[in-house]
Amino acid sequence: MPELPEVHTVLEGLQSALEGRQISALHSYYPGTVSYDPALDYEPFPARVIAGIRRGKYMILNLDNATSLIIHLRMTGKLIYEAQPNEVHKHERARFELDNGAAIRFFDLRTFGKIILLKSENLQNYLPKLGAEPLSPDFTAQYLLQKLKGRKAPIKNLLLDQSIVAGLGNIYVCELLYRARIRPETAGDKITLQQAKEMVKHTVDVLNEAILVGGTSVSDYRRIDDKTGEFQHFLRVYHKEICPLGHEVKRIRQGGRSSFFCPLCQK
Ligand SMILES: [Zn+2]
């Protein structure tokens, strides 16, 4: 599932593909993929993108006519740019047509991905409550400790909670906990100030390292040119048998998802 570095990479690709171009149309090929704000009582296209913003795992494109697009890739969504677009594919759920004949195609095997077209003034109504952006100055050890106060749930599950930290998913939470040397089962309220500092530092590091190489491709995720990211080559525990120090990596189920950790490196 695309997480912050993957969404960041796709958004950058999207912005460069749309630079100087107009979106002439949005076609929908699957019920429920594209939805419209009822307040949108005008034809939104053609329009130009004036800003692209990432919030958590959401991409927000602001158009030049007070309209916005929210794109959420969810599990298997991918946006692929094609200068000379092919015929509609069976897993293609929507398509942006550009004024130069190119297209940005939205493929989504599992169909959980969403594209919402709305009046920009209504943006907040269409986004869930999201916690601090991990790459912003708001994400500090103090912020994290305050959010973890009184929480008995495992730290792994709490870091996946988008209302605490926005944009983290299974891959980067496993990786940052390994780097911070913290067991994924540790109760939220048992995290010390020192551990919170370690988590913040390693969250920022692992996300920035992944962004530098275009994200992690372990399943469907692709960049806008249909190439894979490269961070899967730098993972330390996620889907690994052995940690970088040669210890056996353990896999447990938490909140319906697999957690990978090293019982010797993580306390
Ligand atoms: Zn180890």
pLDDT digits (tens, 9 = 90+) for 73-86: 999 999 999 999 99
Task: Tell me which residue range forms the domain holding 253.
Answer: 141-261
Of the three residues 126, 153, 174, the one that is the final residue of a domain is 126
Percent of the chain with pLDDT over 70: 100
Provide the mean pLDDT of the chain.
Answer: 97
Report residue 40 as tokens: 């949108």
Q: Is the peptide bond before 46 cis (omega within 30 degrees of 0)?
A: yes
Write the CATH number for 28: 3.20.190.10
Of the three residues 96, 126, 156, the one that is the final residue of a domain is 126
**CA 166 to centroid of ligand 1, rounded, Å:** 28
What confidence score (pLDDT) does residue 49 get? 97
Q: Which of 3, 6, 97, 198 is catalytic?
A: 3
Residue 82: partners with Cβ closer than 8 Å, 6 or more residues away:
102, 103, 104, 105
**CA 232 to centroid of ligand 1, rounded, Å:** 18
Q: Judge if 112 and 220 occupy the same domain.
A: no
Position 108, amino acid: D
233-253 average pLDDT score: 98
How many Å apart are CA 181 and CA 199, to the nearest integer? Answer: 9
Number of domains in the chain: 2
For the cut 90, the answer to whether the pLDDT of residue 170 exceeds it is yes
CA 118 → CA 33, 47, 113, 125, distances in Å?
A: 14, 13, 16, 10
Q: Is residue 267 part of a domain?
A: no
137 an active-site residue? no
What confidence score (pLDDT) does residue 175 get? 98
44 an active-site residue? no
Q: Which of 5, 44, 57, 78 is catalytic?
A: 57
For the cut 90, the answer to whether the pLDDT of residue 154 exceeds it is yes
126-141 average pLDDT score: 98
What confidence score (pLDDT) does residue 182 get? 98
How many Å apart are CA 119 and CA 77, to the nearest integer? Answer: 23
For the cut 90, the answer to whether the pLDDT of residue 219 exceeds it is no
What confidence score (pLDDT) does residue 59 get? 98
Q: Judge if 167 and 61 occupy the same domain.
A: no
CA 159 → CA 99, 169, 175, 209, distances in Å?
A: 42, 8, 12, 19
Q: With CA atoms as reference, report the closest residue to 93 among 74, 75, 117, 77.
A: 77
Write the CATH number for 158: 1.10.8.50
The predicted-structure confidence for 187-203, as pLDDT tens digits, reads as follows: 999 999 999 999 999 99
Least confident of 6-15, 28-37, 217-226: 217-226
How many Å apart are CA 174 and CA 154, to the nearest integer? Answer: 12
For 9, list phi and psi in degrees, rounded to 5: -65, -45
**CA 36 to centroid of ligand 1, rounded, Å:** 49
Q: Which of 2, 44, 154, 184 is catalytic?
A: 2
- SS3 for 111? coil
Q: How far is CA 108 from the centre of its chain?
A: 15
CA 10 → CA 26, 121, 166, 233, distances in Å?
A: 18, 24, 17, 19
What confidence score (pLDDT) does residue 78 get? 96
Percent of the chain with pLDDT over 90: 99
Position 39, amino acid: A
**CA 265 to centroid of ligand 1, rounded, Å:** 4
For the cut 90, the answer to whether the pLDDT of residue 246 exceeds it is yes
223 touches 217 (CB < 8 A): no
How many Å apart are CA 121 and CA 63, to the nearest integer? Answer: 12
Q: Judge if 179 and 244 occupy the same domain.
A: yes
Predicted TM-score (pTM) of the model is: 0.97
**CA 205 to centroid of ligand 1, rounded, Å:** 19
Confidence of residue 1 (pLDDT cuts 50, 70, 90): confident
How many Å apart are CA 121 and CA 41, to the nearest integer? Answer: 14
93 an active-site residue? no
**CA 244 to centroid of ligand 1, rounded, Å:** 7
For 102, list phi and psi in degrees, rounded to 5: -75, 170
85 an active-site residue? no
Q: Is residue 134 part of a domain?
A: no
35-63 average pLDDT score: 97
**CA 248 to centroid of ligand 1, rounded, Å:** 7
Q: Judge if 102 and 153 occupy the same domain.
A: no
DSSP string, 54-88: EETTEEEEEETTSEEEEEE-TTTEEEEEESS--SP
